[in-house]
Amino acid sequence: MLRRVDFEERDATDPLAELRSRFTLPEGVIYLDGNSLGPLPRHVPDVIDDAVRRQWGSDLIRSWNDNAWWEMPVRVGARIASLIGVPEDSVVVGDTTSVALFKAASAARRLRPDRRVILTDSGNFPTDLYVLSSVAEASGATLEIVEPERVGERIDSDVAVMALTHVDYRTGRRHAMEELTAAAQAEGALVVWDLCHSAGAMSLDLSTADMAVGCGYKYLNGGPGAPAFAYIHPRHQEVFVNPIAGWWGHADPFAMEPGFRPAGGVRRALVGTQPILAMVALEAALDAFEGVDMAALRQKSELLVAGFVDLVDERLEGFEVVTPRQASERGSHVSVAHPEAAGIMAALIERGVIGDVRPPNLLRFGLAPLYSRHVEVWDAVEAIGGVMESEAWKRVVTKHGPVT
Ligand SMILES: *Cc1c(COP(=O)(O)O)cnc(C)c1O
């Protein structure tokens, strides 16, 4: 049987334990929802303050040059590139994940015009399914949605684009990215990965993937509504056609030409003026990864997740771990099913343990190796046990806002 001291011991020997001090985390809260909104890195408020008061307030429009606002999408892209293991001039930051996916999947589709199918899976995040449906409709393709386990067998020479999310937002199941990429490419398809639940939590091998997109506000901690990122493999950068030709993707935006000529490189994936204040927050937030070895980060993530799963097995009754049992088949969050998930989570949040729920019956706990502590895993599972024993979940009044 595991004991609390075992988790204290894991913290004491955790080579990444110090990184937590790079964040502002409220007292009395165990934050297990960084897979949905990463916490505030400690120095971000000062950087934003400077961007607002000095750069915007005093430097005004000169900031586009003097404070290098114009270069931000590519500069911040280079920072993210190093976290996802791709060349630094192959990532651009801007827009939202939904928009980035629309652009990437459309551009990929356009490179395989004679094929019929865009392939994805039913575990994909709803916005990805909606966006891919739009891409299919706009390009005369058919969106085929198969079960996650059946993607591999569906791949054939009809597939123009395979667009998948690496780590399932509900279950935490992780696709075998390299294998599926190789299988699709062997049939001549292009592959677009959504890294929303991977980037910032693990090392990644995108060396063969054609394109990828991901979120700035989850494990990258860029703040609410942080811009997204898009990776375009160097071999596609000169043939990438942005479905929304806008002036930020133009070769010479300030020539104000009436006709569109795409910029060289990843910049062509941009559309219009970017939310600079949000970009400033994201760029500063990425400092929290300074000097961090992504393989070590993944190792810690695996230990956190394994600890959580082991404790659920040992200490809780009536909860089913739906996250895969194999470390290599999962991401950095744990999902457990219980028919009273909503009430239980509300009671946990009242007690300062913050996770979230996903319908119909999943409690979701994100374990972020940059700042989560092993002992928090113990304390969270203890809190679940307490909520069940006291039947506190029956008594909470769930406050209904639109966001779960
Ligand atoms: C969080 C998430 C999104 C969010 O998309 P936005 O356009 O940023 O709102 C999209 N896809 C996946 C897989 C996600 O996890």
**Is the Cβ atom of 393 under 6 angstroms away from ligand 1?**
no
The three-point CA angle 366-367-368 to 5° equals 110
Determine the distance separating the centroid of ligand 1 and the alpha carbon of 144, expressed in angstroms: 20
- What's residue 403's pLDDT? 84
Which amino acid, one-letter code, is at 277? L
Task: State whether the beta carbon of 120 lies less than 6 angstroms from ligand 1.
Answer: no
Q: How far is the C-alpha of 118 from the C-alpha of 120, rounded, in Å?
A: 7
Task: For residue 16, give every residue at least 6 positions away whose Cβ sits within 8 Å of its Cβ, in sequence order, or none.
Answer: 292, 296, 297, 300, 369, 370
Contact 111, 236 (CB under 8 A): yes
Alpha helix ranges (H) inside 161-292: 177-186, 276-285
Q: Whose CA is nearest to atom 3 of ligand 1?
A: 97
Alpha helices in 267-340 (DSSP H): 276-285, 294-315
Cβ atoms of 177 and 193 within 8 Å: the answer is yes
Residue reference for tokens 């729920």? 357
> Which among 2, 9, 1 has a CA at the least distance from the CA of 374?
9
Collapse the DSSP code of 84 into the 3-class scheme (helix H, G, I; strand E, B; otherwise coil) and give the result.
helix
Q: What per-residue confidence (pLDDT) applies to 164?
A: 98
pLDDT value at residue 381: 98
Question: 214 CA distance to ligand 1 centroid (A)?
Answer: 7
Give, for ligand 1, the residue of 96, 175, 196 to mutate: max count of ligand atoms closer than 8 Å to Cβ.
196
Distance of alpha carbon 126 from alpha carbon 123, whole angstroms = 9
- Whole-number Å distance, alpha carbon 215 to ligand 1 midpoint, is 6
> How confident is the model at residue 396, as a pLDDT?
82
Q: Which atom of ligand 1 is nearest to the CA of 124?
A: 13
- Per DSSP, the residues of 141-187 read -EEEEE-GGGHHHH--TTEEEEEEESB-TTT-BB--HHHHHHHHHHT
Model confidence pTM above 0.85? yes
Distance of CA 38 to the CA centre of its chain: 10
389's enclosing H/E stretch is helix 374-389
pLDDT value at residue 160: 98
Compute the distance between CA of residue 315 and CA of residue 360 in angstroms, rounded to an integer.
23
Ramachandran category for residue 121: left, alpha or beta (phi over 0 → left; psi -120 to 50 → alpha): beta
User: In tens digits, what is the pLDDT along the chain, a chain of 404 residues?
Assistant: 999 999 999 999 999 999 999 999 999 999 999 999 999 999 999 999 999 999 999 999 999 999 999 999 999 999 999 999 999 999 999 999 999 999 999 999 999 999 999 999 999 999 999 999 999 999 999 999 999 999 999 999 999 999 999 999 999 999 999 999 999 999 999 999 999 999 999 999 999 999 999 999 999 999 999 999 999 999 999 999 999 999 999 999 999 999 999 999 999 999 999 999 999 999 999 999 999 999 999 999 999 999 999 999 999 999 999 999 999 999 999 999 999 999 999 999 999 999 999 999 999 999 999 999 999 999 999 999 999 999 999 988 766 688 87
pLDDT value of position 399: 67
Atom of ligand 1 at shortest range from CA of 100: 7
Residue 96 near ligand 1, beta carbon < 6 Å: yes
Contacts 24+ apart (CB under 8 A), 286-289: 286/76, 286/79, 286/80, 286/83, 286/220, 286/222, 287/22, 287/41, 287/43, 288/19, 288/22, 288/23, 288/41, 288/221, 288/370, 289/83, 289/200, 289/370
Gap from CA of 228 to ligand 1 centroid (Å): 9
| Burial tier of 3 (Cβ tally within 10 Å: 0-12, 13-18, 19+) | exposed
Q: Which residue has the tokens 């449906």?
A: 133
- Residue entry with tokens 């375009």: 232
Q: Which of 95, 96, 122, 127 to mutate to test the pocket of ligand 1 (most atoms within 8 A of CB)?
A: 127
Q: How far is the CA of 195 from the centre of ligand 1 (A)?
A: 9
Atom of ligand 1 nearest to the CA of 194: 13
* CB neighbour list of residue 29: distance below 8 Å, 6 or more residues apart: 352, 353, 354
Closest to 21 (Cα-Cα) out of 47, 40, 6, 48:
40
* Chain-centre distance for alpha carbon 58: 35
Atom index in ligand 1 nearest the CA of residue 36 equals 1
pLDDT of residue 185: 98
Instruction: State the residue for tokens 């999947």.
Output: 105
